[in-house]
Structure 1
Amino acid sequence: MKQLIGILIFTLAAFSCLQSNAQKDNEHQDRWERYRTEKVAFLTTTLDLTPEEAQKFWPVYNEMEKLKADFQRKRREMESEVRDAEGKLSDKEMIALTRAHVAVNKDEANLHEKYNEQFLKILPPVKVIKLYKAENEFRMHMFKKYREKRRSDEERK
């Protein structure tokens, strides 16, 4: 009987933990979708795309964003490896890690170069420049918004 109660408690705790993780994943996904929606609206307004430009631009831009997210994930994984590497890896392993880090940055630079050329085929050069400027402005806008929200949350406490 005690074993059954123990198993039941363990099962409920495990289920609760899984449910909590699923809820966090959903919250993360919701935040990401809100961010994406706000970014699309910001870029659409700033770039003043014609319907024809928008039809060609957004699939290419979304493809690039997906690939950039993959690079960001790889970079975060490498940063974790670098943090954990000190004192644990041989010189040979650390050299390989540094080269892998540089390779990811090169690959990402090549990605930017490739999509820059694609954007130039879709948009006039002035709108490509506006795109880069708008992406930076949006990033700064989001940082400011995040800081203000944190400040507001801290004041409520």
Structure 2
Amino acid sequence: MKKSTIYTLFICLIFTSTGFAQGGKRDKVKALKTAFITNELSLTSQEAEKFWPIYNAFEDKQFELRHEKMKSYMKRMDADLDSMSEKEAAVLLSQLESVEEETHQLRKKLVADLKNVISSHKIIKLKKAEEDFNRNLLKQYRENRSSKRN
């Protein structure tokens, strides 16, 4: 599995396990991400007008896919894995791979759709901006958890 895929799944799991969608936290993070990406890509108003509906649809589908499907899979994995039969494990693994493939196809569709809106250079900058944002978010999460323990 690619390092970025593992990282993305880890972020997703953190948000799912901490009740990320509760209390408007998801909306707050989404607003911060929007501002961060807009700044990093230096989108013109014409680009932004076309970019954000495409990107938001992608984000919504990705969140739904990960939140709904991965949540149910994680519950099954939280059960006693040692008592899971090989057949059950194979089925679960196949389902996890399917979610990863769906996520990959969503990303490919995003890139194809964005090619009509922004340059390839900005699409690459988008990928970097997403990773930078997630890295910063994870860092803040760790710092907040650390300060709450002390």
Identity %, equivalent residues: 29
SS at match of 1:122: coil
Instruction: Tell whether the 8 Å contact from 2:41 to 2:126 is kept in structure 1 after alignment.
Output: yes
Partner residue of 2:142? Answer: 147
User: Aligned partner of 1:68: which letter?
Assistant: Q
Partner residue of 2:36? Answer: 42
The answer on 1:128 being equivalent to 2:123 is yes
Superposed CA deviations along residues 12-68 of structure 1, whole A, max 9, x for unmatched, are xxxxxxxxxxxxx8x823211111111111111111101110000000100000111
Of structures 1 and 2, the larger Rg is shown by 1
Separation (CA, whole Å) in 1 of partners of 2:62 and 2:120: 22
User: 1:90 Cα deviation (Å)?
Assistant: 4.1
User: 1:154 Cα deviation (Å)?
Assistant: 3.5
Which of residues 83, 92, 95 in structure 2 aligns to 1:97? 92
Structure 1 stretch displaced more, 137-146 or 52-61: 137-146
User: 1:106 Cα deviation (Å)?
Assistant: 1.0
Which of residues 49, 52, 58 in structure 2 aligns to 1:58? 52
Separation (CA, whole Å) in 1 of partners of 2:100 and 2:23: 26
Unaligned runs of 5+ in 1: 1-24
SS at match of 1:49: coil
The answer on 1:29 being equivalent to 2:23 is yes
Count of equivalent residues: 130
Unaligned runs of 5+ in 2: 1-18
Instruction: Tell whether the 8 Å contact from 1:46 to 1:130 is kept in structure 2 after alignment.
Output: yes
| TM-score, with structure 2 as normaliser | 0.77
RMSD over aligned Cα, in angstroms?
2.0
Instruction: Tell whether the 8 Å contact from 1:85 to 1:94 is kept in structure 2 after alignment.
Output: no
- Runs (4 or more) in structure 1 with deviation over 6 Å come to none
